[in-house]
Structure 1
Amino acid sequence: MHSTLRRSLLAGAAATLLLPLTACGGDSDSSSAKASTAKYKLVQNGVITAGTQAEQPPFAVTDASGNPTGFAVDLMNEAAKRLDVKVQYKTTNLQGILAGLSAGQYDIGVAGVGATPERAKQVSFTAPYYWGFTSVVTKKSGKETQLSDFDGKRVGVVSGAVQEAFIAKKMPRAKLVKFKDQTALISQLLSGGVEAIVLGGADADEYVKKQPVRIAVEQDSLQGSAFPLRRNGDPKLLKDLDAQIDAMIDDGTYVTLYKKYFHDPIAADLIKKRLHLAKQVEGTDLAPAKK
């Protein structure tokens, strides 16, 4: 059953993409690099190295020109611009982002990454910037309407994604099948390799728009999406990123970006985590329905 609060979360190594973000006021790249070198301890002096994904709509995708885009990317780019630093994106998959952070290859992951307690043992997280739902998706011809309808059926998930735990907890009689990324996941659903896949609600919405698939079941997500950073990285960077997201909430930039990618109300759980978000959405179509 669809809720009035909607949606959430959640490409093998491909390309390295460089996106220069110039300082406000017209400073040069060299002065920006010097400023950021002094500000933060980074993998590369003066540049935030970010692991992202090529196919995780609407959070992180590669556009026709080969540049990273999406809600998480736009949010990060705006925060970096305000901090007067540059971002260098390296495309990988979810496991690659987390492994790369642990190995010291990246400063941050820019995608829809669920901030689970297990992951928090390996990486540091900002406060959640998105909260939503989990969706079970089938081909459009599917008839399933409840989780028990998938007992004994092959259900796909991205390996290491938070939806893997959802299947284990909520769909224990389903036959779990893991794939490396969402491209493989949707391909196997369409070809009949699996009978359903489990995605974050926002990701599922994007596929429903573009592919002959349907959302069979939708349930609450257990945690929000956040930016993961290296645990041994610079704590000031994490603090400053959170401060900039808060500033974007206060000046309306966050809501503008949210409306660019989502049509559903902002989840009440996210408002609880970022309390001042409430005054930005109160009285708008982005406000969660009263219960």
Structure 2
Amino acid sequence: MMSFNATLRLAACLSGALFVNAACADQLDDIKKAGKIRIAVAMGTPLFSYLDEKLQPIGSDVETAALLAKDLGVQFEMVSVTNAARIPTLQANKADIVVADLSITPEREKVIDFSRPYAALTIIVAAPKGTVVKDYADLNGKKVGLTRATVNDTMTTQLAKGAEIQRYEDDATLITSVVTGQVDAFSSTPSNLGEVMKRAPQKNWERKFDQKDFLLGIALNKEQPRLKAWINTWVEAKLKDGTLGAIYKKYHGRDLPANVVQL
């Protein structure tokens, strides 16, 4: 929730008050003055942000970030980070915003702000076809791989107390551990399961159960009312005209969930 002071600043900006220049000087002005926006993107996340065969960054988050910078009228400077470094990079002011499949959670909202949702992801548990895994209890005694500092890290740690959690710094390393037989099951996204199936079809990994659907937001530091308002307006417009939906479908092969588009 926006603080009282931030609310006053935004009200001043929108009302055109006499002290508007002092009240509205925030990160949006700095970005425009610099002529570039530094956007943190978590590379090594299949479909969201990864390297193509020419070692160029692509994915739905990469394309979304580039489009946001273009529409803001500034240069896109990508800051490549791990999942664990997404929020620390923002807080250390090494990036202006984060577009990195970052789920909106109450815990994260205590320290950073989010735009309205621009995309979504589903967290699942997968294991080989011959392994019986119907719920968290079936993970007891099993080595379960996941990516550090993610919502599935928090959730699986809390609900699969009998599992031996193996944490990896990014999705690419997690996928490699699965393909090379270092874990018995893993908690991640359907896109990462697809990558595992593509790289090791003989191992017959399959989706066992869905953990939760999460809404993804563009992250920014608190007390930035004008930057947040601009991003929210941009997300609304790009959802309404179908641009964000088209980007998501291009990489993920499915439409954005209704709760993102209609929120």
Q: Which AA in structure 2 matches 1:176?
A: I
Q: Distance in 2 between matches of 1:43 and 1:182?
A: 33
RMSD, matched Cα: 2.5
Q: Quick check: 1:77 aligned with 2:66?
A: yes
Conserved? CA contact 2:118–2:244, under 8 Å: no
What are the ranges of 5 or more consecutive residues in structure 1 without an aligned counterpart?
1-36, 274-291
Conserved? CA contact 1:158–1:178, under 8 Å: yes
- How big is the shift at 1:170? 3.4
Q: Quick check: 1:221 aligned with 2:212?
A: yes
Give secondary structure in 2 for the equivalent of 1:91.
Answer: strand
Give secondary structure in 2 for the equivalent of 1:198.
Answer: strand
Conserved? CA contact 2:46–2:192, under 8 Å: yes
Q: Quick check: 1:103 aligned with 2:78?
A: no
- How big is the shift at 1:154? 0.9
Give secondary structure in 1 for the equivalent of 2:78.
Answer: strand
Percentage of pairs with the same residue: 24
TM-score by length of 1: 0.72
* Other-structure match for 1:243: 233
Structure of larger gyration radius: 2
* Other-structure match for 1:127: 116
Give secondary structure in 2 for the equivalent of 1:137.
Answer: strand
* Other-structure match for 1:255: 245
Q: Quick check: 1:40 aligned with 2:29?
A: yes
Conserved? CA contact 2:240–2:261, under 8 Å: no
Q: Distance in 2 between matches of 1:71 and 1:240?
A: 20
* Other-structure match for 1:144: 132
What are the ranges of 5 or more consecutive residues in structure 2 without an aligned counterpart?
1-25
Give secondary structure in 2 for the equivalent of 1:94.
Answer: coil
Q: Distance in 2 between matches of 1:68 and 1:110?
A: 13
Cα distance, 1:47–1:188 mapped onto 2, change above 3 Å: same
- How big is the shift at 1:55? 0.7
Q: Which AA in structure 2 matches 1:146?
A: K
Decide which moves more: 59-68 or 95-104.
59-68
* Other-structure match for 2:3: none
* Other-structure match for 2:12: none
* Other-structure match for 1:173: 162
Q: Quick check: 1:117 aligned with 2:101?
A: no
TM-score by length of 2: 0.79
Q: Deviations over 1:99-150 (max 9, x none)?
A: 11111111112221111111112221111112242111234x5423412332
Q: Deviations over 1:14-47 (max 9, x none)?
A: xxxxxxxxxxxxxxxxxxxxxxx99532498221
Cα distance, 1:132–1:100 mapped onto 2, change above 3 Å: closer
Give secondary structure in 2 for the equivalent of 1:101.
Answer: helix
* Other-structure match for 1:282: none
Cα distance, 1:272–1:39 mapped onto 2, change above 3 Å: closer
Give secondary structure in 2 for the equivalent of 1:264.
Answer: coil
Conserved? CA contact 1:131–1:221, under 8 Å: no
Q: How many residues align?
A: 235
Indicate the structure with greater helix content.
2
Give secondary structure in 1 for the equivalent of 2:106.
Answer: coil
- How big is the shift at 1:214? 2.4
Written as runs of structure 1 = structure 2, the 5 A alignment for 1:79-94 is 79-94=68-83
